[in-house]
Amino acid sequence: MNKLTVAKFGGTSVADFSAMSRCADIICHDQSIRVVAVSAQSGITNILVRLTQADVSDAERLDLFKQIRDKEQAILSDLNNPESIQVALEHLLVSLEKTANEADIATSERLKDRLLSFGEQMSSLMFAEVLRQRDVHAVNFDIRQIMKTDSAFGHAEPNIELIKQQAQTSMMPELAGSVVVTQGFIGSNDQGETTTLGRGGSDYSAALIAEALEADVLQIWTDVIGIFTTDPRLTQAARPIPEISFDEAAEMATFGAKILHPATLIPAMRRDIRVFVGSSRAPNEGGTWVVNKAKTKPAYRAIALRKDQILLTVKSPQMLHATGFLAKVFGILAEHKISVDLVTTSEISIAVTLDNPSNTTTKAISDAALTALKAFCDVKVEDNLSLVAVIGNHLESSLRENQLWKALEKVNVRMICQGASPHNLCFLTPTAAAPSVVEQLHNALFD
């Protein structure tokens, strides 16, 4: 069988007609790309999130509607206003506005996901037409037919088996004669209601599709030429990494390298699908290959920074040598679906970090979870913290290496985790200091 590539284009790659045209060039040059998953145009999901917030005035709401309409109309007019697309777009815009105007938009997670889904829906509608106008036989495929999830609106969990079945029966046959254009980020539950996989989830969607179709390659097209040793905005010394292992890249994604959604590599690892990350603005400048076994295994590969961290410390008042405290605390966190990243413990207390991004519709820790914890222990919540992760190989034995500790000498470290994974050493530091900490570390480790 011919090689099959699933390509995902992020928000900046499909930001407007000319950006979409660059993506179309990439597709036209690579016959193996049969499935294309797109994000919403950049900025659109943020506008939709804003529309879900309780303090939006009527005037602001109208202005936000206009911003969305203007963006979409501009693309439509560059496409010379094909009537069928115009009608389909109008239909989406009317439903979008109707959803945003619902009385309980600020409180219903179900409605929020329905609203957020319009960004991707509009984007795939337009993008399929861009391809068609280049004589590519493109179909706009509603991914909700196959991306089956649970009902955890805002951060829905995909049902891998069901997705596979559905993809094989309803998407696979389309691939024979068409390029299938579809939406990242969105899915549907058993009742057919729209769900989303969480902010930045389009990468994950594309990986799930690649897995379900047993693709050979997953391409993630974004606005940077691959994965860098650290965020280039933090230091000019950052440089692209040509090849990296799944393990290292997964740690990077988990610990804040914005370039990939943290879950993206899991489906790719399950089926050993090679992942390419590149820039749709500069497709010829190369990018990063994420593979099962990388040719090199340097001690220090990259430094990731993740802002908006909460440190939750729970302390048991009574329990020297008592058992079950950890189990109880993690039981409550699990019950409330709270995902923790770093963990440190002492005899009577546990500290965990929680990701608390400002651009989502969900909270890092719900009041209900806090109440449940407070019922049997003291709880302290600290914020304005950032997580810095040094990613590499054999880091469980880096204690012997002076270089790293020297670099950390003057850093205000609030918490540190080392030893569980050979691929990372992580610490928390105040957010205000974090960018310069990363720059210093990069100088010390990557010179």
Which residues of this chain interact with ligand ASP, rule CB under 6 A? 10-11, 39-40, 45, 119, 184-185, 199-202
Q: Is 262 in the site for Mg ion (CB under 5 A)?
A: no
Q: How many Å apart are CA 447 and CA 443, to the nearest integer?
A: 5
**Nearer to ligand ASP by C-beta: 13 or 316?**
13
Confirm if 411 and 444 have CB atoms less than 8 A apart.
no
**C-beta nearest to Mg ion: residue:** 200
**Nearer to ligand ASP by C-beta: 199 or 306?**
199
Confirm if 425 and 398 have CB atoms less than 8 A apart.
yes
Binding partner of residue 267 among ligand ASP, Mg ion, none, CB under 5 to 8 Å per kind?
none
Report the nearest approach of ligand ASP to the CB of residue 240 (Å). Answer: 21
Q: Is 200 in the site for Mg ion (CB under 5 A)?
A: yes
**Can you spell out the DSSP letters for 208-274?**
HHHHHTT-SEEEEEESSSS-BSS-TTT-TT--B-SEEEHHHHHHHHHTT-TTS-TTTHHHHHHHT-E
Helices and strands: H and E segment counts in the chain: 14, 16
**Nearer to ligand ASP by C-beta: 140 or 424?**
140
Burial 276-313 (b: 16+ CB within 10 A, else e): bbbbbbebeeebbbbbeebeeeeebbbbbbbbbbbbbb
Report the nearest approach of Mg ion to the CB of residue 199 (Å). Answer: 8
Binding partner of residue 429 among Mg ion, ligand ASP, none, CB under 5 to 8 Å per kind?
none
Alpha-carbon dihedral of residues 204, 216, 288, 250, nearest 10 degrees?
40
CB atoms within 10 A of CB 375: 9
Confirm if 399 and 428 have CB atoms less than 8 A apart.
no
Binding partner of residue 278 among ligand ASP, Mg ion, none, CB under 5 to 8 Å per kind?
none
Report the nearest approach of ligand ASP to the CB of residue 266 (Å). Answer: 16
Binding residues for Mg ion, rule CB under 5 A, total: 2
**Nearer to ligand ASP by C-beta: 47 or 302?**
47
**Nearer to Mg ion by C-beta: 62 or 282?**
282
The token pair at 184 is: 């990242």
Report the nearest approach of ligand ASP to the CB of residue 222 (Å). Answer: 10
Binding partner of residue 185 among ligand ASP, Mg ion, none, CB under 5 to 8 Å per kind?
ligand ASP
Report the nearest approach of ligand ASP to the CB of residue 330 (Å). Answer: 28
Q: How many Å apart are CA 221 and CA 280, to the nearest integer?
A: 6
Angle formed at CA 92 by CA 105 and CA 78, multiple of 5 degrees: 130
Counting every residue written for the chain, the total comes to: 447
User: 208 to 237, contacts with Mg ion by CB under 5 A?
Assistant: none
Binding partner of residue 424 among ligand ASP, Mg ion, none, CB under 5 to 8 Å per kind?
none
Confirm if 415 and 386 have CB atoms less than 8 A apart.
no
**Nearer to Mg ion by C-beta: 200 or 256?**
200
Report the nearest approach of ligand ASP to the CB of residue 262 (Å). Answer: 12
Q: How many Å apart are CA 124 and CA 118, to the nearest integer?
A: 10
Stretch near Mg ion under the rule CB under 5 A, chosen from 4-12, 17-25, 124-132, 265-273: 4-12
Report the nearest approach of Mg ion to the CB of residue 8 (Å). Answer: 9
Nearest one of 247, 279, 278 to 265, comparing CA atoms: 247
**Nearer to ligand ASP by C-beta: 200 or 226?**
200
Report the nearest approach of Mg ion to the CB of residue 220 (Å). Answer: 8
Please give the single-letter amino acid code of residue 132.
Answer: R
Binding partner of residue 45 among ligand ASP, Mg ion, none, CB under 5 to 8 Å per kind?
ligand ASP
Report the nearest approach of Mg ion to the CB of residue 23 (Å). Answer: 14
* Chain positions contacting Mg ion, by CB under 5 A: 10, 200
